[in-house]
Amino acid sequence: MAHAEDEVHPLYQKHLRNDPFPIYAQMREEGPVQLVKEPRGIEHWVITRYEEARAALADRRLSRDPRNMWEVMRQTELYDEGEEDSEPHMLNADPPEHTRLRQLANKAFTAERVERLRPRIQQITDELIAGIETGKQVDFMSTFAAPMPIKVICELLGVPYQDAVSFTTWVLAALTPTYVKGERIRPYEANRMLREYFVELVARKRAELKPGSGHEEQQPDLLSALIVASDSGSRFTEKEVVSTANLLLIAGYKTTVNLIGNGMLALLQNPGEITRLRRDPSLMASAVEELARYDGPVERAMLRVATEPVTIGDVTIPAGALVTIANASANRDERRFDGGERLDVGRGDRNHLAFGYGIHYCIGAPLSRLETEIAFTSLLNEFSEMTLAVPVEKLEYRETGVLRGLGELPVWFTRRDAA
């Protein structure tokens, strides 16, 4: 994919954001890994094929620890000066530190705790669907896809819902690269605001906990469970509890917003698949996996740095180089997924990379799957017709570099009792 040295790579050209998949297909044909320069001038190797991407996600030589790449991280403005000594969360850590931090999150974010949320998730879904108006354009993102996961993660973590306006703004800013123009909060500033918010909330939660109040599974919310888990073993610092809560908020909220939003658009563009789901509701679990694979919430994994030379195909990535794994590209690789560019709700292949792979596999994946399954089951039960209200070319995806999600999604809805 030849282009002038100073030219912005197609991956970063705004008019191609809606559909980067032809670019990825071309990159896959040229090889499994390519050197790309982003608008800030930062170079990184992009891995685009499935087998190589899956292997890279599990390769311990590709570090997520920002202490191995402070200089370039400051250029991205993800971190501020003086943060070298700050406590990392598990997404920004390598073993053995990552292993210990993941144990903290695992103790609180259990499958049982997630499953107990099912009735409440259904109730939240039903309330939001009841508020969807028919006979007019409705922005599906602001009406349903965003508030549903926000309400759920607030209840799961024990975060006051009235704070959602603030922290959703901070989360978006924290994930938006500095090459995106406009007046906004810098990523490191947003991260600082999130940390300060959770420092205060953790202190308030700790004050509310009664001495000897029981194990983490008995706590009313996940943040209280994290506090109890840290206090009981004295293995986790206050900063680690705060950073873990911060990460769970981001992982449990924005990925699900994007999965539901992208999934709705994929179905609207493939009405035959909606018909299949109506005829055979048992396909819904399979459909969730396919929607995640086809146009998942994560376009490219967080930056990694090679701690030693790593050979991929006939290319050797030098030590100290930055590496990006293109999950969205890998998930459409025809070498792994037959007809990968086609949506097939009956495919049901769970070995996609929408939630990552290896030690950094998304801890919120079970919750995201559950929310998405309940969401689309309920939407199909309530509405006889769902139609995209604008040409797809008019839609815009948010520029976040890592995540892939729509800003708005105008839809026409028709209820069954009005059909």
The upper half-sphere exposure of residue 391, i.e. CA atoms within 13 Å in the direction of its Cβ, equals 2
Strand runs labelled E in 326-403: 383-388
User: 213: Cβ–Cβ under 8 A, 6 or more apart, which residues?
Assistant: 219, 228
Per-residue pLDDT, 26: 96
Signed CA dihedral, 360, 12, 294, 291: sign only: positive
pLDDT at 2: 44
Distance (Å, whole) CA 253 – CA 146? 8
CA distance 419 to 417: 6
Residue-wise pLDDT for 100-151, tens only, equals 888 777 776 777 888 888 999 999 999 999 999 998 999 999 999 999 999 9
Q: Which residues contact 364 (CB under 8 A, 6 or more apart)?
A: 109, 248, 251, 252, 255, 256
Q: Tell me the pLDDT of the chain (419 aa) as tens digits.
A: 544 444 678 888 877 778 999 999 999 999 999 999 888 788 899 999 999 999 999 999 999 887 777 776 666 666 665 554 455 677 778 888 888 888 777 776 777 888 888 999 999 999 999 999 998 999 999 999 999 999 998 888 888 888 887 888 888 777 777 666 655 677 778 888 888 898 999 888 888 876 555 555 567 788 888 888 777 655 677 788 888 888 888 777 888 999 999 999 999 999 999 999 999 999 999 999 999 999 999 999 988 999 999 999 899 999 999 999 999 999 999 999 999 999 999 998 999 999 999 988 988 888 999 999 999 999 999 999 999 999 999 999 987 678 899 999 999 999 987 65
- The CB density around residue 2, as the number of other CB atoms within 10 Å, is 5
What residues have CB less than 8 Å from 336, skipping those under 6 apart? 50, 51, 330
Q: Residue 316: enclosing H or E segment and its boundaries?
A: strand 315-317
Pairing, β 310-312 against β 322-325 = unpaired
pLDDT score for 317: 97
pLDDT score for 223: 85
**How, if at all, do strands 322-325 and 304-306 pair?**
antiparallel
Strand pairing category for 322-325 and 43-47: parallel
**pLDDT tens for each residue of 170-194:** 887 777 776 666 556 777 788 888 8
Candidates 261, 254, 346; CA nearest to 295 is 261
385 CB-contact burial (10 Å; exposed 0-12 / middle 13-18 / buried 19+) = middle
* Alpha-carbon gap, residue 284 to 288, rounded angstroms: 6
* Distance from C-alpha of 332 to C-alpha of 237, rounded to nearest angstrom: 41
Asked if 88 and 104 count as a contact pair (C-beta separation under 8 A), the reply is no
Stretch (H or E) spanning 163: none
Q: What is the pLDDT at residue 170? A: 84
User: Are 88 and 97 a contacting pair, CB within 8 Å?
Assistant: yes
**CA dist., res. 58 & res. 5, Å (int):** 32
